[in-house]
Structure 1
């Protein structure tokens, strides 16, 4: 590897039953100083150890790309299987792992990623994050970073009360601008292709950056996904605000349905689609149920208010998280999820109060 900042990704995953309740954890460090720059963790439902480890790898690489898209990355894991397969020395035979390996390779150019094995004792930070995510899921909660990392790193600002915690938060929700998959009306989830903005999408992002709603923003927050980050960067540059990345705002994991149109899903998975449409606790095959999206959105919104009360925040996210937050503000049930229209690069304005109440100021402005 040559050129660019050097980052280190440590990732792990585990399953309590193999297969069983599973989760992953990953962190990004500055390779020179050891400073922890990002942590991600998530419970992923029922899966095997190997799938969970691959999911941790994908999440870690995406977090590294969010920190610095031009960085060189050292990946260090205690899974010899993942390291050898991603290094190209072993074949990837299992279909689920083959899909995840392809997703990992798509995050950063291969010549900027180096894979190496480390003993489990040296991967304890990522292991701890994975277990925290599984413990949180067992308690009915979504994992949220909020404790000091090894080495004394303080809890992130989002976990600490802001000085103006009693003041309302003005939140401008922006759906990411269009991608080729958006234009084809194909599902594009958090572990799918992760496409870039299309030509039309870049123009949509430019127009969103110039609209009145985003003026005066104190910060622009985005999901980890490329289309969201690209939209956020255009807005942030125009308004002169910093960009922060939060994986809690990633799109739903659509599992096996990723990349399909709704018509294709109905044709290939009619019973599963009907169950998913009727019950928010049902997940797409290999994916994430709506209730899981709702949990992480609720916790992320609470953290936003705790950190940014009294400020104006632009949040660039995706269709499902945006609708879920809007429904929570309106007090609507899950049945309204698919009836709320949010166009690419549209703006939805909310005001969140410290007592948990909220106001919906505008929806789907384009």
Structure 2
């Protein structure tokens, strides 16, 4: 088999530094220039340099997935190119974990070179990064303008340049909205035996403990006091969530319960059922990688990036299906943290800094113009004995 040689074009940017950020990456066959893969995503709030490194990581991972043996990385970030080439020190401690992840990926190739290119020669990756930031902000653009920019025939917002919102998209404002949002009442399921033992509890179908059932009843009473008119209760398929959802629906007088597979907890793979201490002792490098990047997964498990993809799908479906309505969403720690991260336009570090108690309650409002308001996070007063 002929070894595959590729060109990786990567970029990232932030509208503000730090500010809402995103990245883009393109993998091309080295000889023909044919596009083999594209990667892009929003990052929440981050710096330009973090976004650039994120683009590099996405491009390298895509090249690995394609089975490439050699890669020439082209970026308009002098900082990333020089640091990855070993000519500049990495003085910013926030960039060191990203550079370490990139170095680990580089070792999976026979040969990788880093080349600086002017920004005008990196338009395709730049366009992908801006598209990701636009979509995260609820901004739409004409396909022709974006395609022209990717071909070098147009101008798009770049690093540090805010894009002009499209008609109807949300603009920042201190004024309270006057229209009715779709309101999500986010409920983490009640406690289980694994919760008390501080064990990873992902796809294992563990029932509520007696304490967890009491927590579900208390949460149901709190939900009813906040919003007696609930259109639906949407839940993860796992029994600890469906039981919590049933208790809430009964308290509301029989509100319909909808099972949504995409709300299931992250798959923790080989870590499932193990204590946090056991995992740290047995998989220290894997845990560091997992904590350092949402694209890393536990051995045999699922990355937070994959969880985010399905959570966003659920949110979009609820927003479309229940306009100007209130919906209870019963899920797990990981999906709910990701939903709140996106609602707050926060960075990935948010996922490891937010704590969600069993049966804790959060509230997110979403408007048709793209506006979002987080009204409450992890309320637990109703659980006080």
Question: Smaller-chain TM-score range?
Answer: 0.5 to 0.7
Task: Select the residue among 218, 228, 244 that pairs with 1:207.
Answer: 218
Determine the C-alpha separation between the residues in 1 that align with 2:328 and 2:243: 14
Query: Shift in Å at residue 260 of structure 1?
Result: 1.2
Candidates 333, 357, 369, aligned match of 1:319: 333
1:228 to 237, 241, 246: 241
Q: Quick check: 1:343 aligned with 2:357?
A: yes
Give the whole-Å Cα distance in 2 for the aligned partners of 1:295 and 1:218: 25
> Quick check: 1:356 aligned with 2:370?
yes
Q: Measure how far apart 1:204 and its partner are.
A: 0.3
C-alpha separation in 2, matches of 1:216 and 1:200: 27
- How many residue pairs get aligned? The number is 201
Deviation at 1:278, TM superposition (A): 0.3
Which is greater in Rg? Answer: 2
TM-score (norm 2): 0.51
Find the partner of 1:292 among 288, 297, 306. 306
One of 171, 191, 205 as aligned partner of 1:178: 191
How far off its partner does 1:215 sit? 2.7
Q: How does 1:1-366 map to 2 (within 5 A)?
A: 167-190=180-203, 192=204, 194-211=205-222, 212-240=225-253, 241-366=255-380
- The 3-state SS of whatever aligns with 2:329 is strand
Higher mean C-alpha displacement, 209-218 vs 181-190: 209-218
- Once structures 1 and 2 are overlaid, which stretch shifts more, 348-357 or 199-208? 348-357
CA RMSD of aligned residues (A): 1.5
Rounded Cα–Cα distance in structure 1 between residues aligned with 2:378 and 2:251:
21
Distance in 2 between residues matched to 1:318 and 1:220, nearest whole Å: 14
Question: C-alpha displacement at 1:305, in angstroms?
Answer: 0.3
User: Structure 1 residue 261: deviation in Å?
Assistant: 1.6
CA–CA distance in 2 between the matches of 1:325 and 1:249? Answer: 10
Distance 2:360 2:229 in 1: 18
Moved over 6 A (4+): none
**Unaligned stretches of 5+ in structure 1?**
1-45, 47-139, 141-165
Unpaired runs of 5+ in structure 2? 1-64, 66-131, 133-178, 381-385
For 1:325 and 1:225, how far apart are their aligned partners in 2?
18
Partners of 2:232 and 2:295 lie apart in 1 by 33
* Aligned match of 1:55: none
Secondary structure in 2 aligned to 1:232? helix
Provide the rounded CA distance (Å) in 1 between the counterparts of 2:379 and 2:347.
23
How far apart, in 1, do the equivalents of 2:338 and 2:227 lie?
21
Alpha-carbon distance in 2 for matches of 1:213, 1:323:
22
Tell me how far 1:252 sits from its aligned partner.
0.3
C-alpha distance after superposition, 1:90-137 (max 9, x if no partner): xxxxxxxxxxxxxxxxxxxxxxxxxxxxxxxxxxxxxxxxxxxxxxxx
In the alignment, is the contact (CA less than 8 A) between 1:172 and 1:214 conserved in 2? no
CA–CA distance in structure 1, aligned partners of residues 340 and 347 of structure 2: 11
Summarize deviations over 1:130-151 as a string: whole Å, max 9, x none: xxxxxxxxxx9xxxxxxxxxxx
Q: TM-score, normalised by structure 1?
A: 0.53
Query: How far did residue 258 of structure 1 move?
Result: 0.4
